[in-house]
Chains A and B, each alone.
Chain A
Amino acid sequence: MVQTDAYVMLSMVLFILGAMGVLLRRNAILVFMSVELMLNAANLALVAFARQWGSSDGHLFVFFVITVAAAEVAVGLALIVAIFRTKRSINIDELNQLEG
């Protein structure tokens, strides 16, 4: 059985990669994908700890995270489409004013 530490380590590395994607990439869709990567890394840690504790509650949390991520992606991509329509760009550095 692979130690829980190894899974937590891997999930941490993936989380950091996702965080760097959010900070460094300028394409809003890629920023979104990096957020998904961070959520996945957190899910991996949750499942690893669920096995460690022998309790299924961690699985339930992951289930909810996946559901909320699906909702978030639907709304977020709709926002990106709406922004692209008005500004003809999805570079997040150019989205610096509140008016449409």
Chain B
Amino acid sequence: MTTEFWLFVIVGVVAVVSAVMMLLSENAVHSALFLIVVMGCIAFLFLMLNAPFLAMVQIAVYAGAIMVLFLFVIMLLGAERLGGKTPFRWMTPGAMVLALLFLVVVGLGLGAGPIAEFSPPPPNPQVRVAHFAAEAGAVDLRVSGVVIEEGLEFGDAVGYLSFPAGDYEFALVDPETEAVVIAQNVTLEPGFVGTAIAYAEGDQPLLAIVPESLEATDERSGRLTVFNAYGDALAVSLVDFGSEFDPNDTQVIIGDIALGTASETAEFAEGTDLRTWAFIEAGNENNVLVRLNNEEVFRVRRGESTLVVLGQEPRLAGVSRAVALPLVAPAAPSFGSPADVGKLLFSRYMLPMQAVAILLLVAMVGAIVLTHRPKPSAALVRARMGRRRVSRPLTSVIAAQVGQEVTGPGSRPELPEPADEAAGN
């Protein structure tokens, strides 16, 4: 048994014992405090279940706001020991039998098969296509005969396309002559995510499928993969020249990427300075192909998966130069994080969220209306005020008729004890 299991057992036992104590304690304040312990335990279990956001919401809203409201009302009503005995004696055994029946039913359900064997179906495969075949010019992308994108220029990329799993033919076709530049059959497995990159080896255009990962990155880091589509059939390396840009003092970041292959995926800290990085011919620091010194284009941002493609851009008169282009895709936010919950909340669950917001508003108004004590009517107020006002002149009128002070010299009429307040509420 692992530590995690024992932690679960301890927290679970604390939760159950607190729940039982909550039911048994005579004092309602004690019950509320035990309920707070249960909520804290459940928040801890949320943390163990990869739901940090919900754990914090649980603490703040349940153990904080809601329980304070409970304690406040208990104090307000003085309801610590209210309740008393029930006239329905048969309810206790009845509830016990019902609870046991429920336990048996759910136990049978759980015993029917381990829940762990169920797992979600993998999502549909996703593929994006990038055009780095230097000689081909503008092409149309066809997948199994269906035109997906027209006029794809060198360096263009088509964003992720989602297909049902199966066999597809990816073809790049010259739009004018209808000549097929590249055609390749690809089998897409369920759950596959990748990029199809068209590149040229010499004069031969080829299509490479680079599998990618869009899973959550490490905290505060971005993912970087390099693909070599540089047509001169060189192996290339990504090196850091350092701030001095000294060819004799370099550090290889990713070494020896052969033509048509992708490097291993590496994760770099957010904000890593890429200005001193450059692609070189592998092992030859003097042959710098292209530098990554454009901060606007090359940067490592958290939660992003970047595929840098080194290609050979055709220039006029048969001359070509090396270019590096990043294909950036957002990686999935880590499971259960605030970003993950927020993303769903503001996309798929927008309407329920609005409905819940209106419900909260209605509840707020409802609570105010319910606890609102209506003011006494204007006539009643006037009657009370009037009675009080005549009391003084009346004594002076009597005093004038009798000829002496009714209340006696120096003695002021004593106020009656405020009976209402002494009784309390």
The residues of A with any CB-CB pair to B shorter than 8 Å are: 1-10, 12-14, 16-21, 23-27, 29-30, 32-34, 36-37, 40, 43-44, 47-57, 59-60, 62-64, 66-75, 77-82, 84-85, 89-91, 93
Question: A56 touching B54 by the CB < 8 A rule?
Answer: no
What's the least CB distance linking A92 to chain B, in Å?
A: 9
Question: A5 touching B116 by the CB < 8 A rule?
Answer: yes
A13: chain B residues within 8 A (beta carbon): 16, 103
State the CA gap A82–B73 with chains docked (Å).
11
The residues of B with any CB-CB pair to A shorter than 8 Å are: 4-5, 8, 12, 15-16, 19-20, 22-23, 28, 31-32, 35, 38-39, 42, 45-46, 48-51, 53-54, 57-58, 61-62, 65-66, 69-70, 73-74, 76-77, 79, 82-88, 91-92, 94-96, 98-99, 102-103, 106, 110, 114-116, 118-120, 335-336, 340-341, 344-345, 348-349, 352-353, 356, 359-360, 362-364, 366-368, 370-371, 373
| Residue on B nearest A66 in the bound complex, by CB | B61
Interface of A is mostly: helix
Given the contacts A24-B95, A53-B120, A75-B370, A2 and B8 also touching, CB distance less than 8 Å: yes
Question: A74 touching B363 by the CB < 8 A rule?
Answer: yes
Q: A44-B46, A47-B51 are in contact. List 17 more A-B contacts (CB 8 A).
A: A2-B8, A14-B15, A19-B95, A20-B96, A27-B28, A27-B83, A29-B77, A29-B79, A47-B45, A47-B54, A51-B49, A51-B50, A59-B54, A64-B356, A75-B363, A84-B79, A89-B82
State the CA gap A67–B356 with chains docked (Å).
7
Q: CB within 8 A of B70: which of A2, A26, A77, A82?
A: A77
Given the contacts A75-B370, A80-B73, A70 and B61 also touching, CB distance less than 8 Å: yes
